[in-house]
Amino acid sequence: MTEWYYNVRIYQQFLPLGGLLFIYRTSKERRSGMEITDIRVRKVTGGGKPKAYVTVTFDDCFVVHNIKIIEGKTGVFIAMPSRKTRAGEYKDVAHPIHPEFRAELQRRILDKYDSGDVQDDGADDPSDDI
């Protein structure tokens, strides 16, 4: 099965005035089109299910804050940033569209968390100033 989709990265070398680049690929070739260029993990002190908060940078130009690493019954997993609606439900503010990219994002975040390359909760994180 083939599909059209947008790669929202602006290719200035190909599109001098900027714009969207349309790419045609088979579903096996589909990629996110965005590269994860930085992952920062801030460990949460104390008990509870949240173990850390994560900031992920894509293509050195787009950042997503407050991705949570949560301890579940079968192990740790990530939860995307969300907010509470008037109806009391939680809705994701940002999230991956394709399951393959979500799996890759979770793998990369949990690898960073497991490596021990994390900041303490009280550490000065420049991404918090944004």
Cβ contact 42:119 at 8 Å: yes
Quick check: 63 pLDDT over 90? Answer: yes
Q: What is the mean pLDDT of the chain?
A: 77
Mean pLDDT of 89-112: 94
CA-closest candidate to residue 109, choices 123, 122, 125, 96:
96
| pLDDT-derived band at 24, boundaries 50, 70, 90 | very low
- What's the whole-model pTM score? 0.67
Structure tokens that stand for 24 in this block: 């045609």
Q: Where in the chain is the domain with CATH 3.30.1120.40?
A: 32-120
Q: Please, what CATH class does the domain formed by 32-120 belong to?
A: alpha beta
Quick check: 122 pLDDT over 50? Answer: yes
Cα–Cα distance measured from residue 76 to residue 51, given in angstroms and rounded to the nearest whole number: 9
Q: pLDDT value at position 31?
A: 52
Q: pLDDT value at position 34?
A: 80
Span 27-58, pLDDT tens digits: 444 454 689 999 999 999 887 889 999 999 99
